[in-house]
Amino acid sequence: MKKLYFGSNLKMYKTIQETVSYLQSLYEKTKDISRDDIDLFIIPSYTALESAAKHIDQSYIKLGAQNMCWADEGQFTGEISPIMLKELGLNLVMIGHSERRHVFGETDSEENQKVKAALNHGFTTLLCIGETAQEKDYNISAEVLRMQLKIGLHDIPLSHLSNLWISYEPVWSIGVNGTPASAGYAEKMHKIIKECLTELFGDAGKDIPTLYGGSVNPDNACQLITQPSIDGLFTGRAAWQADKFEQLIRDAMASYEAQQKN
Ligand code: PGA
C-alpha cells in the first residue's frame, strides 16, 4: 500500500498559542497512527513556527513555512530566507499557493526560483498548482497545469526529486466560496499532472507525491483519497480543529485500506 499524505495550511489564522495547542492536540490524537503509513504536516504562520518547532516532534508532524524567498540574504524587505527557516529547524516549505499567485501576484518563474532554492537547501518542497475558473471554462486546465509544472520545475536535477511534492488546488475550489472538485475531475487532472511529471523526469517523476487540495471536507475526503492518482489530501478549513482533522484522516485511511483489500 502506498503512503498517504495529509496536511494543512493554516494560512493567516491562529496565534502562536492557538497553533501550539492545536499541534499538541493533533499530536496526541494521531500519535498511534504509524508514520510508515502516513506523512502528516502542518504549515502555520511564520510567527508561530519557532514555538511550534520547540513543542512538536517533527517525526510525527512535519512543520512547514507558507512561502520563502529564493535568496539566502539581501535587500528583500519583508521576505524570509531559506537559511532563516533552516535556523528554526524546518524541513518543509510550500511554494506557489493559490493565494500567493492570485492575491500577491507571484509568477511561475518566481515559483521556479523558489523551488530551486528550497530544493538546494534540502527542503521538502510542496509546489502548488491549479487553474482558475475562467481557465477551466476555456477548457485549458491541462495546458495551464502543464505550464505551471514545466516552468515551476524548470532545471530541477533528478537528484532533488525525492524532496518534491505537488499539490493540485484548482483556484475555484479553495476557501469559503469554493466548490470542491469532484473526485472524477480531480483524478483526471492528477493523471495529467503525473503524465507531465513523467514527461519531465522519466520514471522518477512517477514517485513524486501528488496531493489534492480545495474544500476537502469529511464528505468528499474518502472519495478523493481512493482515486488512483491522488496520494494525499491538503486540507484547509476542515483541518483546523484537531479532532475534526483526526477523524478525516482516520476515515480516509480506512476507505483507502478497504479499497486496497478488495
Ligand atoms: P480549503 O483550503 O480547504 O479551506 O478550501 C485549501 C487550501 O487553500 O489549501
Any idea what the Cα angle at residue 116 is, between residues 82 and 128, rounded to 5°?
A: 90
Q: How far apart are CA 180 and CA 214, in angstroms?
A: 6
In the chain, domain spans: 4-261
Asked whether 215 lines ligand 1 (CB < 6 A), one says: yes
What separation in Å is there between the alpha carbon of 6 and the centre of ligand 1?
13
CB–CB of 118/160 below 8 Å? no
Per-residue pLDDT of the chain (262 residues; tens, 9 = 90+): 899 999 999 999 999 999 999 999 999 999 999 999 999 999 999 999 999 999 999 999 999 999 999 999 999 999 999 999 999 999 999 999 999 999 999 999 999 999 999 999 999 999 999 999 999 999 999 999 999 999 999 999 999 999 999 999 999 999 999 999 999 999 999 999 999 999 999 999 999 999 999 999 999 999 999 999 999 999 999 999 999 999 999 999 999 999 999 8
Asked whether 94 lines ligand 1 (CB < 6 A), one says: no
User: What grid cell was written down for 120?
Assistant: 538546494
Asked whether 112 lines ligand 1 (CB < 6 A), one says: no
Buried b (16+ CB within 10 A) or exposed e, 185-209: ebbbbbbbbbebbeebbeeebeebb
Q: How many Cβ atoms are within 10 Å of 177's Cβ, its own excluded?
A: 8
What separation in Å is there between the alpha carbon of 100 and the centre of ligand 1?
13
Return the CATH fold of 4-261: TIM Barrel (3.20.20)
What separation in Å is there between the alpha carbon of 213 and the centre of ligand 1?
6
| Torsion angles phi and psi, residue 213, rounded to 5 | -140, 155
